[in-house]
Amino acid sequence: MNKLTAIILSAILSGTFISCSPAVKRYSRPNTRNYASIKTNYLERDEDKVFEEKVIRSVSLRLSVNIIDTANAQLKEIAKKHKGYASQIAGYSSIVRVKNENLEKAIKEIGALGKIYSKSIANDVFTKMEIKTHNIKLENAEKSRERYLELLTKAENVEDVQKVEKELERLSETINSLIRYIDSSNHLAEFATITVYWKEKKKPGIIGYIFLGIYRPVKWLFVRN
C-alpha cells in the first residue's frame, strides 16, 4: 500500500459520519453559487440568527364552488397578490404558496371563492439542532471534497485516480443533496403551503328549478308571518 493509498484510507475513515450516497457515472462539481451563500452564512454564523428554529406551515382547505376552472384562476391571482405563486393547478386539487406573513389574509380570500366545509392547519418545526447538524455535515463534506481534489493532483497511477474520483463522486452527491435539503427547508419556512380541494356545487335540473321557484316565495311568506 503506497503513501497516497494510505492517505486516501485515512481521509475516508475521518469522514465516515457523512452519509453515503450512490456514486454517479461522472463527477461534477456541486452548485457553487448556491453553496457559497450557505457557506458564508455558516462561517459568519451568529448562532441565534443562522440556526434559529424554523416553522413550516401548511393549510388544507375543502371548498364548494360554482365553477372549478374559474376558482382555480382566482386562486392563482390570490397567490400572486400575496407574494407567492401557484405550485400546482390541477382540476379538483390545487397547491399554492404565499408569504408566511400573508397566510391568514390569503386563507380569508380563498374562502370567499365559495363555501369552506373543511379546514386544517399543520405546523412542522425545523429545530435549531437540525439546522445546525445539516450545516455542519455540509461544511465537513465540502472540506473532505477539497482534500480529495488535492489528492487527485498527486495521484501517481490510474488506480489511485479511480479511487479518488470515486470518493469525489460520492462527496459531490452528498453535498448537492444537503444543499437541496437546506434550500428546500428555508424556502418552505418562508412560504406557507395551501392545498385546496374543490367540489363543484350541484346545479338543479329543469324540474329542480321549478320547485325552487315555488319554494322561495312560499318560504318568504312564512318568514314574513
Q: What is the pLDDT along the chain (225 residues), one digit of tens a residue?
A: 554 444 444 544 444 444 433 333 333 333 433 434 444 444 444 455 567 789 999 999 999 999 999 999 999 999 999 999 999 998 899 999 999 999 999 999 999 999 999 999 999 998 889 989 999 999 999 999 999 989 888 888 888 888 889 999 999 999 999 999 999 999 999 999 999 999 998 765 555 545 545 555 545 454 455
Domain that holds residue 97: 1-17+30-225
In a domain, 23, yes or no: no
As given in the structure block, the three cell numbers for residue 131 are 439546522
Distance in angstroms (rounded) separating the CA atoms of residues 124 and 122: 7
pTM of the full structure:
0.65
Q: Give the contacts of 185 (CB within 8 A, at least 6 positions apart).
A: 54, 56, 126, 131
In a domain, 217, yes or no: yes
Distance in angstroms (rounded) separating the CA atoms of residues 97 and 125: 18
In a domain, 24, yes or no: no
In a domain, 25, yes or no: no
- Name the domain count of the chain: 1
Encoded amino acid at 131, one letter? I
